[in-house]
Amino acid sequence: MYQTSREEHCHKLDSVWKNVESALQALSRAKGEQFTGAKTHLRASYEGYERATARYSAFLEKAKTFEARHELRLRQVIDEDREAIVSEKLREATPQERDKAHETASQFFLSVHSRASSRSRRSGSSTISLAAVQARAQAEAVKARAQFGRKEAAMRLEKARIEAELEVLQHEKEAAAADAQASALEAAVEQDGGECVRPHPPLDRTLRVWSYITEQAAVRDAELASLRVPVVHPRSQSLEHAEVTNHLPDFRAMKRKRRCVGNFENPQLTQRHFLESPSFPTGNDYPTFVESFNCCGSQPRSQSR
């Protein structure tokens, strides 16, 4: 890319300088009124050459290579020589001065041209050495870029690690702030006499699964128990009947204990009365009475224990 652009600029400069050389020759051959026109044409041609050489110098400065810097110094010397030729030619004010300076200017032009040609030959001979220097410089530049690339990669990794740690720290800070706020609210509630509901500690997955299975088993057992029909065995039924019978009062014994007491010695006693039998057990809450009659069959008298 650099070599192609350089050749284009050099071709443009050679073409423009040929126009300047033609203007110089025309000014040298001008006579009388032709001298002014030839002088104006020389100025215009040289201005075009100055614009072209300025563009080429800017291109070389932008390249920033060893060969470009060397070519720029060489171009500055050539431009100074050519400017001196044109300036000397334009200072000829009269045809007489032109005739006197014609031979000197021609000789000077030939010497400048020969010097430029010799410099060009030296520049061509040093192209190989410049290419080697440029290749070596490019290799050093590649090595430097590789070294800085490794440093840049390490710094990027360190930056990513620091950013990850900062993100984790931010989450921890938010969690700590939330815990502190919750603790402050709980303390305020307890001071006001309210009941503070503290969250249960989180359970791991195994404990949560086992708790769920246990709860579901208990619910199922309760449902099955509500639907179950009690089965009564004959032996247990007879035992329950015997137990109930033992707790019932013995009315036959009560009847045997009831006796009639008559008072025949004292005919004054005409009332029938009941006396409670002291031998009946009191734990069954069934009072027994002893019935006494008189001879006359008067109203009984009951006396409870």
CB 229 within 8 A of CB 252: no
Residue 271 identity: Q
- Mutual angle of helices 34-63 and 66-90, in 10-degree steps: 170
Print pLDDT tens along the chain (305 aa).
777 777 777 878 888 888 888 888 887 777 777 777 877 887 888 888 888 888 888 887 887 777 777 777 777 778 787 788 788 777 764 554 555 555 555 555 555 555 555 555 555 545 555 566 666 766 776 777 777 777 777 788 888 888 888 888 888 888 888 888 888 888 888 887 655 555 555 556 778 778 888 888 888 888 877 776 555 555 555 555 555 455 445 555 555 555 444 444 444 444 444 444 444 444 444 444 444 444 444 444 444 44
pLDDT in tens, 4-28: 777 777 878 888 888 888 888 887 7
Torsional class of 261: left (φ above 0), alpha (ψ -120 to 50), beta (otherwise): beta
pLDDT in tens, 123-151: 554 555 556 666 676 677 677 777 777 77
Q: What is the pTM of this model?
A: 0.32
Sign of CA dihedral 289, 295, 297, 298: negative
